[in-house]
Amino acid sequence: MRLPGVYRAADDTALLANVMRQGEYARGRRVLDIGCGTGALAIEAVRAGAASVTAVDLSLRSAAATWLNARVHRAPVDVRRGDLFEPVRGERFDLLLANPPYVPAPTSLLPRHRIARCWDAGIDGRQVLDRICLGSADALSSGGTVLIVQSEVCDERATLVRLEGAGIRSQVVARFRVPFGPVMRTRTALVEGRGLLKSGRREEELVVVEGCRD
């Protein structure tokens, strides 16, 4: 179920869910889904054997959609509304899941009340990604893991560097090439002009970054 203005689960969601399932990252663990959208990842974490699942989103509609979908699928998900880690400040989790906005936008101003909030992420696509990298260490338990899905367009190396700088060992664990979606097709000239993607490309590589806290 997807309310108007809520991000529709797409290839990036499926890739992250597949990595979580195949690696058995969620089994027996306390899971936090950051930016939950429809709740697809949170529900998959429950199905993958998580001990508990908490889902957070700044959007009221997304929080409502996750709450509704979790109940339709009889998945015990604790849904909270707020900005990234704020609703769970002081709590620790064994697994963080993040499919944040990562599409480069015309300006650095992030939309608050339009569907574009689901993908617009500033000039280089990293405004939300960087905040997640910096905040993950405080939300992870010792030995905990963060899984982040993003596009190559917003520089996977920067994600690795940010996580390492926060004390989280990191690596890319999955790659998947997909054709440009509707939003990226409208931003082709923009990302090419900024040197974020080679001219003529009409597909992008999605990557899943794994970070582990000692």
Q: Per the domain annotation, does 4 fall within a domain?
A: no
CATH code where residue 19 lies: 3.40.50.150
Residue 183 lies in a domain: yes
Number of separate domains in the chain? 1
Q: What is the pLDDT of residue 200?
A: 83
Q: What would the 3-class secondary structure string for the chain be?
A: CCCCCCCCCCHHHHHHHHHHHHCCCCCCCEEEEECCCCCHHHHHHHHCCCCEEEEEECCHHHHHHHHHHHHHCCCCEEEEECCCCHHHCCCCEEEEEECCCCECCCCCCCCCCCHHHHCECCCCCCHHHHHHHHHHHHHEEEEEEEEEEEEHHHCHHHHHHHHHHCCEEEEEEEEEEEECCHHHHHCHHHHHHCCCCCCCCCEEEEEEEEEEEC
Output the tens digit of pLDDT for each of the chain's 214 residues: 667 667 777 899 999 999 999 999 999 999 999 999 999 999 999 999 999 999 999 989 999 999 999 999 999 999 999 999 999 999 999 999 999 998 888 887 777 667 777 788 888 989 999 999 999 999 999 999 999 999 999 999 999 999 999 999 999 999 999 998 888 888 888 888 888 888 888 888 999 999 999 8
Is residue 3 domain-resident?
no
Within-domain flag for 2: no
Range of the domain at 110: 11-213
Residue 6 lies in a domain: no
**Looking at residue 63, what is its pLDDT?**
93
Is 137 inside any structural domain?
A: yes
> Do the domain assignments include residue 73?
yes
Does the predicted TM-score (pTM) go above 0.85? yes
